[in-house]
Chain A
Amino acid sequence: DQQVKQNSPSLSVQEGRISILNCDYTNSMFDYFLWYKKYPAEGPTFLISISSIKDKNEDGRFTVFLNKSAKHLSLHIVPSQPGDSAVYFCAASDLGTYKYIFGTGTRLKVLA
């Protein structure tokens, strides 16, 4: 049972345009969500997070949106840069647990 799903395995975007990565979850108890970026031969790097009391969190070029009623979150990267090319994972947890559940990842390719 995949509680966190990233239905797009890959995405290609032109440099300078917006990249939108999507993530859906099924567990209504999840209340903390994160996005990670992973380059080959490196561990995942934390990008941005959002708690369920918010619907938007912004950090520079990265914005995460949370739609609790739809159980959906998205990561917007604008403007996209070639260095953003990586695999992006979303993750979720619920208050009181230390476990994070990860999605299967979306490979983003930003074309110069």
Chain B
Amino acid sequence: SAVISQKPSRDICQRGTSLTIQCQVDSQVTMMFWYRQQPGQSLTLIATANQGSEATYESGFVIDKFPISRPNLTFSTLTVSNMSPEDSSIYLCSVRGNYNSPLHFGNGTRLTVT
């Protein structure tokens, strides 16, 4: 399976600021996703990162708050904008192959907003 490197691994940020999370994959992948895991909660899909075009966002997530870039088939960024304490979560990059194949995850970014 692909090796997924995510950074930073953790950060503590002040409210009102923004943080950009990077995801690098060691091979070209078609499908790349960003998930969030809030404390004690399930993994929730934020958006699908589309190569060369705008990301596809899930209900409850908007581009202004979570802008995503995907310039090529191995790299993506997620920005958490104008952060509030409610944004404190683990943010996870994931990739998959064909339909009905497993998702593989990076190690996540643990974000704390004070």
Binding site for B on A (CB under 8 A): 2, 4, 31-32, 34, 36, 41-46, 49, 51, 89, 91, 93, 95-96, 98-100, 102-105
Contacts and interface: CB of A to CB of B under 8 A. Distances in A.
Interface of B: 1, 4, 6, 9, 31, 40-45, 48, 92, 94, 96, 99-100, 102-108, 110
A108 B71 CA distance: 39
Contacts of A103: 42
Nearest to B100: A32
Nearest to A31: B100
B102 A102 contact: no
A29 B48 CA distance: 21
Contacts, number: 55
Contacts of A44: 43, 92, 103, 105
A35 to B, nearest CB: 10
A8 to B, nearest CB: 14
Contacts of B106: 43
A89 B43 contact: yes
Nearest to A46: B102
Contacts of A42: 107-108
B110 A51 contact: no
A102 B108 CA distance: 16
What 7 pairs across the A-B complex have the smallest Cβ distances? A43-B105, A46-B102, A102-B43, A104-B42, A102-B42, A32-B100, A43-B107
Contact of A98 (B4, B41, B99, B105): B99
A43 B108 contact: yes
Nearest to B6: A43
Given A43-B4, A89-B42, A104-B41, A51 B100 contact: yes
A46 B95 CA distance: 12
